[in-house]
Structure 1
């Protein structure tokens, strides 16, 4: 996930300056519209991810008590493998 965020920042830093064209000066309306659209899209993705986390936490809470090995805290489990894991809201 960190790599995807880093790549998104890199792509944004490459494309961003290209939206501010000299022909659009001084208001730069197309660039401002582009920024607002991408921010709205990012907010939508954040809301969807938040909804997924809420849904997944409820689903895991409905599973009841999960039997795990005695040393499960020391195991290198992902959030998908560790059914006791809860996403922080």
Structure 2
């Protein structure tokens, strides 16, 4: 979200009058920033899949630790809550 906010501020500054009407430097900059954003996105997806796989491999005895009726009110983080699954 921080990256989106920064690009929303910087993006309009890339459109300079000297590059009118084709804005080649602007197009190159946008393509480069989009290409740079791909690896972190893939990394986050891989990490969430890996964490989900690790949690699926845990023994089922972990389920008995939590009260099934009031489980959602325990206010656990994603690391503490072994039932939590990331969506990707």
Bucket of the pairwise TM-score, normalised by the shorter protein: 0.7 to 0.9
Please, which of 66, 69, 72 is the counterpart of residue 69 of structure 1? 66
Corresponding residue of 1:20: 15
Q: Which moved more, 1:48-57 or 1:10-19?
A: 10-19
Greater Cα radius of gyration, structure 1 or 2: 2
In structure 1, what is the Cα distance between the partners aligned to 2:75 and 2:48? 21
After TM superposition, the score normalised by the length of structure 2 is 0.81
More relative contact order, 1 or 2 (CA 8 Å, 6+ apart) = 2
CA positional deviation for 1:83? 0.8
SS of the aligned residue for 2:65 comes to coil
Corresponding residue of 2:38: 43
The Cα offsets for residues 32-78 of structure 1, whole Å up to 9 and x where unpaired, read as: 01111111222222111110111111111112221423233321111
Corresponding residue of 1:84: 83
In structure 2, what is the Cα distance between the partners aligned to 1:48 and 1:32? 26
After TM superposition, the score normalised by the length of structure 1 is 0.80
CA positional deviation for 1:80? 1.1
Number of residue pairs matched by the alignment: 84
